[in-house]
Amino acid sequence: MSNAKDTRLGPVKVEGGLVAGVPSDTEGITAFLGVPFAGNVGGDNRWRPAPPVKPWEGIHLADTPGPKMFQDHDPEGNEIANDDGLVLNIWTPSQGADENLPVYMLIHGGANRTGSAQYDDLQAAELASHGLIVVSVQYRLGPFGFMALPEMAEENPQGAVGNYAILDLVDALEWIRDNIDGFGGDPETVTIGGQSAGAENTVALLRSPLAEGLFDRAVISSSFTGFLPGKTMAVEAKMKNNQAAVDELFGRPMTLAELREIPDETWLAPFNGSDRSLYRLLSNATASNQFYTIDGHSFTEDSVDLLQPGDFGGLDIMIGQTADERTSLGGDPDGEMTPEEYRQAVLDLATARPYMVGWENEEVFDLYVPMTDLDAYRLHIRMQNDRMFQYVRLGAEFAKAHSEDADIWLWYWDHAPPGDNEGFRGAYHAADIYYFNASLREDDPNQRPWTDPDLAMRDLASGYLANFVKTGDPNGEGLPEWGQVTAETGGQFIRFHQGEAKMRTQTLYPSRDAYHRKMVLEGLGKAENDIFGQ
C-alpha cells in the first residue's frame, strides 16, 4: 500500500462482524479488501446455494484480497484459490456512514472459468475518487458455477439448477443492499457492470428475476451477444448434456455425492492421461457456450427473452464492444490460412457458436478479400469482430426503441493500448477496462508504457463511467456529448480512438456493417423497421 493519508472512516459493522479498511493508492480512498459476503462452498456445499458468512470475533483488518475462487493453478503459482473465495473488495471515498454515495458493483471476466477481483485492471481506487463506491466481487467458476445435473434438480426441486455463479452474484447484490450504507453507500443507487464474462453475467442479471430491484443501471463491456440470443439452455437439455459429459469423462456414471467427495488436488491435477486438469476438462464440457440454465428459478423462458416491449423500462444502460475483440482470444500475429482454410473457417463459425443467430453466407467473401495467406487469417478475425459489434448494436437499438423510459448509450472502443504486437492486437478484448476503471497508473513499472492519448482516454472513459454511476447519464462537464442510440440518430454510437471520443453512425466499413446487420436480422426473423419500432 502507498503512503496516502489515513482515512477517518472507522471500522464498519457488516454481516459476520467488524471490518477495518486501509488507505489505498489514491489519497482519500479507503480500501476494504477480501471482505466475505458468503461462506465456504466446497465439500458438501458444492452445487448448493452458498451458506452464510462465518462470523468472526474482534475487528478483521481487510488489508489484503481474499483467495481467488477455486480454479486452475495460477501459472506463476503465487495466488491462492479455494472455496473461501466469495469475497469482495470495496473502495470508498466516504468519511462516514451517512453520505449516500452511488455504488458500482464490478464483475470480473475470465470466460467464467478463471479470474478474480484481484486483476490489475479492476483496481478502482481512482475511479472511486470521482465520488462513488466501487465493489468488485467474486463468484463460483467453471463446473462449480454452471454445471447442471439431474440430481441437483432432485435435491432442490423449486430452486436453482446449475446457476450457482448467478446465485453468488445475487448474494453479493443483497450484501450491498444490507451493508453498503456503513461504507457511505446508497443501497438504492446501484449500478452493475463487467467486461467479457463479467459483461455476460451482467446481462444474465438483467435476465434473472432473482436480481430484480437490486440495481437500476448496468455497464456492459464486450458481452459478445448483448441483449440478443446468447448462452442460455433449457434445463432438461442442459442436465442431459452435462450428465453425459461427466459420465464420459469418468468412464462410468457419476453421482453428485461422488463428485462432491473429489479432493481439491484431484480437481487440479492432469486427469486421465490428459495434460489438462479435471477442472478444466469439466469446464469445457459443461460450461462453454452454455453458461445459463433456464431452470424456472434463476431464469425463466420469459425472463431470458430481452426482445419484449418494456423489458428495459426504468433502466439506464451503457454497452459496447472493442474493435478487435478476437485478436487476443487465441489470435496469432503470424497466423496464416490457405484460401480453402479461410473459406471453410468462415462457414464453420455458426457451428463454433451455436448460441448466436444469423451467420455468414457466400456474400461475405466479396467484402473480405484476402491477397495473401496472412491476409486470410486476419480477415477471418476481422470479420468476427465486425459482426460482433453489429450483433450488440442491434440489441441496444431494439432495447432503446421498445422501452420508452430506458436510457441506452452505445460505444465502440477503437483505441489500441501500447504493448506487444500492438499493430496486430489493436483494440483487443479487454483493451478498454484499464481506462473505464481508471486503473491505469503512469508510474507503475508493472503496467504498460502509457502515452498521452492513453491518459486522455482514461480521463474520458472513467469520467463517462463515473457520471453514469452517479446520475444514470454519462454526460457531464468537460466531456464530448454522448447521444443515446435512437432511431432519430441512425443508431448512433460513440467511438473512442487515440485520446478522443466522437459520435458516429457507422464504422470505417459501412458496407460490412450493412451486411452483418442484414444477416443478424435474418437470423432473428426481423426486418429493419422491427428494430426501431417503425
Residues 171 and 163: beta-carbon distance below 8 Å = no
Residues 66 and 129: beta-carbon distance below 8 Å = no
221-267 pLDDT, tens digit per residue, is: 999 999 998 899 999 999 999 999 999 999 999 999 999 999 999 99
DSSP assignment string, 48-104? SPPPPPPP-SSEEE-BS--PEES-SPPTT--S-EETT--EEEEEE--SSS---EEEE
* pLDDT at 378 > cutoff 90: yes
* Rounded CA separation 335/341 (Å): 12
- Residue range 294-298: mean pLDDT, rounded: 96
Q: Is residue 351 packed enough to be buried (19+ CB in 10 Å), middle (13-18) or exposed (0-12)? A: exposed
Label residue 399 left, alpha or beta by phi (over 0 means left) and psi (-120 to 50 means alpha): alpha
pLDDT band at 2 (very low <50, low <70, confident <90, very high): very low
| pLDDT score for 77 | 57
Residues 129 and 101: beta-carbon distance below 8 Å = no
Beta bridge partners of 501: 496
User: Which residues have CB under 8 Å from 133's CB, separation 6+?
Assistant: 90, 91, 92, 93, 94, 101, 102, 103, 104, 180, 183, 184, 185
Which of 118, 112, 92, 320 has the alpha carbon at shortest distance from 219?
Answer: 320
| pLDDT score for 80 | 74
Using a cut of 0.85, tell me whether the model's pTM lies above it: yes
Which of 28, 184, 21 has the alpha carbon at shortest distance from 102?
Answer: 184
- Residue range 353-373: mean pLDDT, rounded: 93
Lookup: cell for 385:
469482430
48-84 pLDDT, tens digit per residue, is: 999 999 999 999 999 999 899 999 987 655 567 899 9
User: Which residues have CB under 8 Å from 344's CB, separation 6+?
Assistant: none
Lookup: cell for 80:
491462492
**Alpha helix locations (H) across 106-196?**
125-128, 142-146, 150-155, 164-179
| pLDDT score for 289 | 73
Residues 319 and 396: beta-carbon distance below 8 Å = yes
Determine how many CB atoms are found less than 10 A away from the CB of residue 506. 16
Q: Out of 326-340, 347-361, 506-520, which region has the weakest mean confidence (pLDDT)?
A: 347-361
DSSP assignment string, 469-523? HHHS----TTS-------TTTTS-EEEEETTEEEEESS-S-HHHHHHHHHHHHHH
What letter does residue 441 receive in the DSSP assignment? -
Percent of the chain at pLDDT exceeding 90? 85
| pLDDT score for 1 | 41
Beta bridge partners of 319: 220, 410
Q: Which residue is associated with the grid cell 467453471?
A: 142
Residues 223 and 199: beta-carbon distance below 8 Å = yes
Which of 370, 321, 149 has the alpha carbon at shortest distance from 223?
Answer: 321
CA quadruple 108, 74, 458, 506: dihedral, nearest 10: -70
| pLDDT score for 76 | 58
Amino acid identity at 27: E
| pLDDT score for 78 | 59
434-486 pLDDT, tens digit per residue, is: 999 998 888 888 888 999 999 999 999 999 999 999 999 999 999 999 999 99
Lookup: cell for 2:
502507498
132-176 pLDDT, tens digit per residue, is: 999 999 999 999 999 999 999 999 888 899 999 999 999 999 999
* Rounded CA separation 327/332 (Å): 7
Mean of the per-residue pLDDT values of the chain: 93
| pLDDT score for 287 | 81
* pLDDT at 294 > cutoff 60: yes
* Rounded CA separation 246/286 (Å): 8
| pLDDT score for 533 | 73
* Rounded CA separation 68/421 (Å): 30
| pLDDT score for 534 | 61
* Rounded CA separation 404/235 (Å): 33
* Rounded CA separation 259/266 (Å): 11
* pLDDT at 292 > cutoff 80: yes
| pLDDT score for 353 | 83
For residues 444 and 178, the model is more confident at 178
81-107 pLDDT, tens digit per residue, is: 899 999 999 999 998 878 999 999 999
Beta bridge partners of 32: 90
Residues 152 and 47: beta-carbon distance below 8 Å = yes
